[in-house]
DNA sequence: TGAAGTATATTCACTGGTGAGTATACTTTG
DNA sequence: CAAAGTATACTCACCAGTGAATATACTTCA
């Protein structure tokens, strides 16, 4: 319908997504975001009550899309369970080779706001990561693995380790190493 | 010797360590650091040519102490190789339960400066992580494991995953889960 | 139905405060 | 005394958030 003009709120969120992800939270001002969205700062404050509120909305807007992507990669991968898990890591390796890739927005925000544990964005980030861990544990349970929860947690650790390590070294090969570790751990559980 | 009055440079570095680690890089100003060090900002600029330079010095000052700690934990742990590796993770779990713990300063700085890949502090951080990976690979090689480099990389992924995940959830148990995963991977290689 | 009122959405111009970095002058000490 | 080290006081840019006014659209009821 009204495809030609997204609402101001949507334009703000789109700009916030791009800038916060590309530059970081504290490196981006609401002036930057307003300019990118083509509106004034006061309009940002009409739709979001503070910068913290916008940061929270930014992460919340990434929750479902990111989870959907992981699910898709898992479901569309061929092979045994271990291969489907490894596929997630190989897809991340591919994504990480794109020059605009800057790691996991949830992890980077958590690192930057580590001095504000009660920040609403931290809660959104923690909930997001927990959802992923639970979803994977359910996939393992469905296949009647023992210790599905523990195994899921180990895979999550490798995944977040891959995000962090790739960012430090700018080397996407770490995702593949993590994928092989995950494959070994899953295979060991499948027995 | 001259224990009573550390040099201005040392006081700046100590203040930078505490503040950058506790609050993050962009959240801390050189005014904050000068005040904490009990000197004026101009003195900071006498000893360090810019904030970026001080950030680099902050990370550089953590390189050897952190590596020494990992080595100590590994060497002083009893048991087989897998137990010695797991000990590092259990020590991190203990450290992470301290209220002032805020993750790995290298990883958090890398996350915050992800938009400045050429930043000198990023190079220091990458070199630090690489040293750890190489040291562990050497320990594996000395014990004549196959694929020492690949195994070391997997352990590193779990370690950095633990740092990140604990920070997101504020739950040190993730370090123990990572330790068990590392133990399994090492045991599998020892055979 | 159309004028008066009201809620939504937006702008311009501003404030109080803080940021990195500096010009200049004073002080200590070898 | 001269060089190293430190302080005072400053610049200029930016930042989160706000005050006052305005435009637009949607009611309500005479």
Other beta carbons less than 10 A from residue B65's beta carbon:
8
Q: What is the distance between the alpha carbons of residues A89 and A162, in angstroms, rounded to a whole number?
A: 8
pLDDT of B1 > 50? The answer is no
Measured from the CB, is A9 under 7 Å from any atom of strand C?
yes
Measured from the CB, is B18 under 7 Å from any atom of strand C?
no
Per DSSP (E only), the strands in chain B are none
The pLDDT tens digits of the residues spanning B149-177 come to: 999 999 999 999 999 999 999 999 999 99
pLDDT of residue A1: 36
* CA atoms in the 13 A half-sphere facing the CB of A51: 13
**What is the pLDDT confidence band of residue B6, given thresholds at 50, 70 and 90?**
confident
Q: Are B180 and A188 in contact (CB under 8 A)?
A: no
B26 in contact with A, Cβ within 8 Å: yes
Q: What is the distance between the alpha carbons of residues A20 and A42, in angstroms, rounded to a whole number?
A: 19
B36-62: average pLDDT: 95
Nearest CB among A114, A150, A158 relative to B167 is that of A114
The pLDDT tens digits of the residues spanning B10-31 come to: 999 999 999 999 999 999 999 9
Distance B40 CA to C26 C1' (A): 14
Q: What is the distance between the alpha carbons of residues A39 and A19, in angstroms, rounded to a whole number?
A: 15
pLDDT of residue B8: 79
A96-113: average pLDDT: 98
Q: Are A157 and B134 in contact (CB under 8 A)?
A: no
Task: Read off the tokens for B27.
Answer: 């959240």
**Closest approach of chain A CAs to the CA of B146, in angstroms?**
15
Closest CA to A20 of A104, A117, A129: A104
What DSSP string describes B80-99?
Answer: SHHHHHHHHHHHHHHHHTST
pLDDT of residue B4: 55
Q: Which nucleotides of D are covered by protein (CB under 7 A)?
A: 5-9, 14-20
**With an 8 Å Cβ cutoff, are A169 and B114 in contact?**
no
Task: Read off the tokens for A52.
Answer: 């913290």
Name chain A contacts of B170, Cβ cutoff 8 Å.
117, 126
The pLDDT tens digits of the residues spanning A154-186 come to: 999 999 999 999 999 999 999 999 999 999 999
Q: Is A130 helix (H, G, I), strand (E, B) or coil?
A: helix
Q: Are A70 and A131 in contact (CB under 8 A)?
A: no
pLDDT of A2 > 50? The answer is no
Q: Are B93 and B182 in contact (CB under 8 A)?
A: no
Residues 160-179 of A with CB under 8 A from B: 160-165, 167-170, 174, 177-178
**With an 8 Å Cβ cutoff, are A165 and B174 in contact?**
no
Measured from the CB, is B30 under 7 Å from any atom of strand C?
yes
Q: What is the mean pLDDT of chain A?
A: 95
Q: What is the mean pLDDT of chain B?
A: 95
The pLDDT tens digits of the residues spanning A46-61 come to: 999 999 999 999 999 9
C1' of nucleotide D7: residue with nearest CA: B40
Q: What is the distance between the alpha carbons of residues B139 and B142, in angstroms, rounded to a whole number?
A: 5
Q: What is the distance between the alpha carbons of residues A165 and B114, in angstroms, rounded to a whole number?
A: 12
DSSP A80: S
From the number of C-beta atoms within 10 Å of its C-beta (0-12, 13-18, 19+), residue A23 rates as middle
B77-93: average pLDDT: 98
Q: Which residues contact A22 (CB under 8 A, 6 or more apart)?
A: A100, A102, B115
């Amino acid at each position: 319908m009204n495809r030609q003009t997204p609402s101001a709120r949507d334009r703000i969120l789109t700009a916030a997504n791009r800038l916060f992800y590309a530059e970081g939270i504290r490196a981006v001002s609401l002036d930057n975001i307003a300019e990118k969205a083509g509106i004034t700062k006061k309009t940002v404050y009409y739709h979001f009550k503070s910068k913290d509120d916008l940061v929270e909305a930014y992460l919340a807007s990434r929750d479902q899309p990111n989870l959907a992507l992981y699910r898709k990669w898992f479901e569309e991968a061929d092979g045994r369970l271990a291969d489907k898990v490894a596929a997630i890591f190989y897809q991340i390796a591919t994504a990480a080779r794109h020059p605009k890739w800057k790691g996991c927005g949830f992890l980077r925000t958590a690192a930057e706001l580590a001095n504000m544990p009660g920040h609403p964005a931290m809660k959104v980030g923690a909930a997001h990561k927990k959802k992923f861990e639970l979803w994977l544990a359910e996939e393992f349970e469905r296949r009647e693995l023992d210790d599905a929860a523990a195994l899921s947690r180990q895979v999550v650790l490798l995944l977040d380790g891959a995000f962090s390590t790739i960012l430090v070294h700018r080397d996407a090969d770490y995702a593949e190493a993590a994928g092989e570790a995950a494959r070994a751990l899953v295979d060991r559980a499948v027995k």
